[in-house]
Amino acid sequence: MADRMLVEAVRMALARVMSEDETVILLGEDIGRNGGVFRATNGLLERFGEQRVRDTPIAEAAIAGLAVGLAAQGMRPVAEIQFSGFIYPCIDQLTNHASRLRTRTRGRLTCPLVIRSPSGGGIHAPEHHSESMEALLTNVPGLRVVFPSSPKRAYGLLLSAIRGPDPVVFFEPTRLYRSAKEDVDDSGEGLPLNCCFTLREGTDVTLVTWGATVIEALAAGDHAADEGVSVELIDVAILKPLDFETIRASVSKTGRAVIVHEAPISGGFGAEIAERIADEALLSLLAPVKRVAGYDVVMPLPRLEQFYLPDEPRIMAAIRDVMSYT
């Protein structure tokens, strides 16, 4: 195994599945000769050729529509949208076509496509390059939504997303592209697209998060341990379909839950998890469920970005709050 950055793990997964399956093709803006805006597809044009690594115009709706058509005709397209803030023009194709094709054709056709998109802040970019809008897509039946937080999980989950029969939106945490590193073996083994990952076991508080905020949550878990608080950390990773059973079992054990995400707090996916806890694990709770999230404002420009993003002190404040209930 070799130490890989998250962006390298993504590239490795793409190369692996393309070498195994000739129906897998890549398309997107500048993904070919430039290797993508973050170089996630660097070198794949030279390896697999222009027929399978296609540069497209700056037209996100057209990219998504082309991907739907290709998938319906037996290909496995993987489309890159440069930033998640540019994914809005794709929503019509994703909601009205990709997610409904299996039902609309009574199972005659499936739509095995993946939309990859860097997501989140922390890279000192303008606001439309720093959004976290995963909650919008978790409300779409028939669509899977994935948001890994480490190179290993990015590799395994991307393999499974491409190989599966369903449309998947695969968000990649932008600020972890080069900062997150770990040993990743190019084994070709995918990870299941229906379960959470328990990164740390504990008995006092359940900490639930996904994407880049896993890093701050891990740091908060270490800090809490220094204060005598045992944190169980769950990386949701697959937001749709949600493996709520893992979360419910953890909350039933700890009696307390803190949910962390980068997206704005109102209508964020954390609200869905909090509601499920209230509905299915209310009698296990020893304290109210707390959410630590982005504020209900447009992502600030770089000078104020660090005040918007959930950080370790805010997470620790929420942990101390739920621990104050006895």
Which of 275, 226, 212 is CA-nearest to residue 247?
275
CA distance 86 to 228: 44
Which residues are CB-neighbours of 132 under 8 A, at least 6 positions away? 84, 119, 120, 121, 171, 211, 261, 262, 263, 294
- Which of the following is catalytic: 128, 129, 223, 261? 129
Q: Which residues pair with 85 in a beta bridge?
A: none
Neighbouring CB atoms inside 10 A of 151's CB total: 25
Query: 129 an active-site residue?
Result: yes
Which of 110, 111, 99 is CA-nearest to residue 138?
99
Looking at residue 294, its amino acid is: G
Neighbouring CB atoms inside 10 A of 16's CB total: 20
Classify residue 28 as left (phi > 0), alpha (psi -120 to 50) or beta. Answer: left
CA distance 94 to 170: 13
Please tell me whether residue 300 adopts helix, strand or coil conformation. Answer: coil
Q: Which residue has the tokens 């896993």?
A: 214
CA distance 114 to 70: 11
Helix, strand, coil percentages, rounded to 5, for the chain: 40, 20, 40
Which residues are CB-neighbours of 93 under 8 A, at least 6 positions away? 61, 64, 65, 67, 68
Burial label for 98, CB within 10 Å (0-12, 13-18, 19+), is buried
Which of 276, 225, 278, 284 is CA-nearest to residue 251?
284
Residues labelled catalytic: 129
